[in-house]
Amino acid sequence: RKEVEQDPGPFNVPEGATVAFNCTYSNSASQSFFWYRQDCRKEPKLLMSVYSSGNEDGRFTAQLNRASQYISLLIRDSKLSDSATYLCVVNTNSGYSTLTFGKGTMLLVSP
């Protein structure tokens, strides 16, 4: 079983749609959770951290379910510029800060 699993997509949605991505992680000791965004042939960029209480940043909402080892990202009112690959990232933090990445979910927003 992979450490971080995501549906690779692609998710094809029209502008204005709401889309949700899910991710599961295998290591119950994981302590920090993130969504990164990666545009084609670019570096990953932090979109948002994910907290147990859930958190929102504008059109983006992230949720964490530790019991189910499940992370989600909801994007409301999709924009063309949201087209990218969304990476679910986990830090096990066994004293170190190394990140474990999922393969990513591709989102394509069309006019």
Partner 1 sequence: EAGVTQFPSHSVIEKGQTVTLRCDPISGHDNLYWYRRVMGKEIKFLLHFVKESKQDESGMPNNRFLAERTGGTYSTLKVQPAELEDSGVYFCASSQEMQGRTDTQYFGPGTRLTVL
Restricted to residues 46-105, the positions that interact with partner 1 (CB under 8 A) are: 46, 87, 91, 93, 96-104
Give the CA distances from residue 22 to residues 40, 72, 73, 87, 97, in Å, rounded to whole numbers and listed in that order: 21, 4, 7, 10, 23
Contact 70, 22 (CB under 8 A): yes
Q: Which two tokens stand for residue 109?
A: 């927003």
- What is the nearest approach in angstroms of partner 1 to the Cβ of residue 105? 12
CB of 111 to partner 1, least distance (A): 29
Q: Which of residues 22-41 bind partner 1 (CB under 8 A)?
A: 31-32
Among 43, 53, 67, 81, binds partner 1 (CB under 8 A): 43
CA separation for the pair 18, 25 (Å, rounded): 24
From 16, 20, 26, 42, residue interacting with partner 1 (rule: CB under 8 A): 42
The footprint of partner 1 (CB under 8 A) covers 2, 4, 31-32, 42-46, 87, 91, 93, 96-104
